[in-house]
Every structure is written in structure tokens, then in C-alpha cells.
Amino acid sequence: MGRNTDELTEKLMSADSIADYLSENESRFVDGHIAQRIANAFRDRGMSKAELARRAGCSTVYVHQVFSGRRSPSRDKLICLFVGMGAGPDEIQQTLKESGFAQLYPANRRDSVILYGLAHGQSLAEIDEKLYAAGMQTLT
């Protein structure tokens, strides 16, 4: 936990009401805005949304719905989108955290396979092959 989180935890535990706490700390919450986070990351990648969809194992329609905010990706789909953009483990971990999802956890077998693939520059197809070979649920 960072200093910001420690401070928020302290304020939350000493708050007289949850409504007051939520109101006073609105600007510090990280939830929501997944579509904007994805769009910001995508902007500098130099690829089309169709290319992202292909690399992420998603339909183009799904990608457009995510960018427009009509659909919110699950944790696995968010990972797929960022792998499709060529993001590394640090960027994916930060995105998961800021989007309110659990970060990839090395003590979890499935997450370890995903993290290994990310650290070694593997494609989504390669990561899915490793997951499948280990008898685990694939990302796509």
C-alpha cells in the first residue's frame, strides 16, 4: 500500500459517515473510466482498432463498444486488450490496479503463467497455449 492508500484507509476508519468520506475524497478514487484508460494507452500505439481487436482476440465490434464506454471489459479482457497493444507487465499491472481489478499475483498459478508470458514478450496466442497446456482457463 502506498502513502495515498494508507491515508485514505486512515480517513475511512475514522470517518463519521460513509457519505461524508465518499464526498470528501471523490477525486482520489480510481474506479471507473476504463474506456478512457484504454483510449489513452491506445492513442500512441500506432495501430487501428481492427488490428487491436485481432491481436487481443476480440471482435472489432467489442473493441468499439469498449472505447465508447458501452461495454466494460472483464479483468481477462482488459489483459487481452493491453497484450494486444504490446503493453508490458508493469503497464498491465498498473492498469489493473487503477481499474479496480486484482493485479496479477505470482503466487497464483494462472496469474504466474500470464506474468511469465508478459515478461518474456509472448503474444496472447502463446500465453493462451501455455495456459491451455497447464489445464487452466485461457484468456480468450
Are the C-beta atoms of 34 and 79 separated by less than 8 Å?
Answer: no
- Answer whether residue 138 is part of any domain: no
Whether the per-residue pLDDT at 32 is higher than 60: the answer is no
Distinct helix (H) and strand (E) counts, the chain: 9, 0
Tell me the per-residue pLDDT of 111-133, one tens digit each, with 9 for 90 and over. Answer: 999 999 999 999 999 999 999 99
Number of structural domains the chain divides into: 2
Give the residue carrying C-alpha cell 515478461: 119
Q: Do 6 and 69 belong together in one domain?
A: no
- Answer whether residue 140 is part of any domain: no
Cβ neighbours of residue 68 under 8 Å, at least 6 residues apart?
Answer: 35
CATH, residue 54: 1.10.260.40
Q: Distance between CA 81 and CA 59 in Å, rounded? A: 11
Q: Do 48 and 114 belong together in one domain?
A: yes
Mean pLDDT of the chain: 92
Q: Do 57 and 83 belong together in one domain?
A: yes
Give the residue carrying C-alpha cell 518474456: 120
Give the residue carrying C-alpha cell 503466487: 107
- Answer whether residue 8 is part of any domain: yes
Dihedral sign, CA of 113, 117, 123, 129? negative
- Answer whether residue 139 is part of any domain: no
Q: Do 3 and 68 belong together in one domain?
A: no
At 1, is the pLDDT very low, low, confident or very high (cuts 50, 70, 90)?
very low
User: Which pLDDT does position 2 carry in this prediction?
Assistant: 53
Give the pTM. Answer: 0.81
Kindly state the average pLDDT of the residues 60-71: 94
Q: Do 20 and 38 belong together in one domain?
A: no
Range of the domain at 44: 31-133
